Amino acid sequence: MKLALVGDIGGTNARFALWRDGQLESVRVLATADFATPEQAISHYLIDLGLAPGSIGAVCLAVAGPVGGEHFRFTNNHWRLSRSHFCQALQVQELLLVNDFTAMALGMTRVREHERLQICPGVAEPGSPAVVIGPGTGLGVGTLLSPAEGRWQALPGEGGHVDLPIGSPREAQLWQQLFNQLGHVRAEDVLSGNGLLQLYLAMCTVDGQVPSLSTPAQVSAAALSGDALAAQVLDQFCIWLGRVAGNNVLTLGARGGVYIVGGVVPRFASFFQASGFIRSFSSKGCMSGYFEGVPVWLVTAEYPGLEGAGVALEQHQ
């Protein structure tokens, strides 16, 4: 395969790399706000590497949202894309667009043992699906299926937009406050970077506290420094992540395990390991026993979305 380019484009950052002989090369991270279009960002990346137009044969971009058709509008940033214009502007022969969590799921096939922490013990059941879920700018959810005829499959979806589940009277109080603010409460409204702040503000209102923190980073930093209210917020974040992840396991029969990905949770990995995640993940009443032996890992790999875009491109050829 001719030299290819892979990208993993989020709301804030666009990650690009060359894909050669099944490996990433020359990874760069660019701010989406610095460029008007994805073509401009990729041109900048190629010029920085000294590559001339036409030197790239194919491009695979992992993007947030449903893919299909000539035009694509990015969910979490201002970019838009026309497939034909993109190929013409960058002189590439082929553009493959894949859902970002399709790429993330495929990236799990490349994660090495030292790039994941085991949160729940167990062994992946051969032939069973695995759930890939990750809070970031939004909440991504994907499904990894075992190879069929040597090819991995990943199911795209919009699982971050499911309704936020309620599992206790306390959560019902918090949900009511979130509903008062939002009207409709999705899992992503809590399980994302901005969602963490939203949850903090809701908990302050429910508990009659005056908010003193104004960013998600401040909330997590305060929690890790011993602030009691912030720690409750962060623990509730982990509990809700467990509920949503567990619901996906039941829906999909995902005894192949759960991969927690994204940029949020690895920042407080030790807190997460000791949080209420494990309890809420498997607390499903009469179906709680179903979770025995289902492994959960926290993925710490640096560029799994890029790796997955490379896998998608190779399997597409």
Give the chain's count of helices (H) and strands (E).
10, 13
Q: How far is CA 154 from CA 70, 79, 145, 200, 246, in A?
A: 22, 25, 6, 34, 19
Residue 258 in 3-state DSSP? strand
Distance (Å, rounded) from C-alpha 234 to C-alpha 219?
A: 8
- Residue numbering of the annotated binding site for ATP: 7-12
- For residue 241, how many other CB atoms are within 10 A of its CB? 26
Please count the residues of the chain. 317
- Residue numbering of the annotated binding site: 7-12
Instruction: Find out whether 100 and 9 touch, Cβ atoms under 8 Å.
Output: yes
Q: How far is CA 107 from CA 60, 121, 237, 313, in A?
A: 13, 21, 25, 12
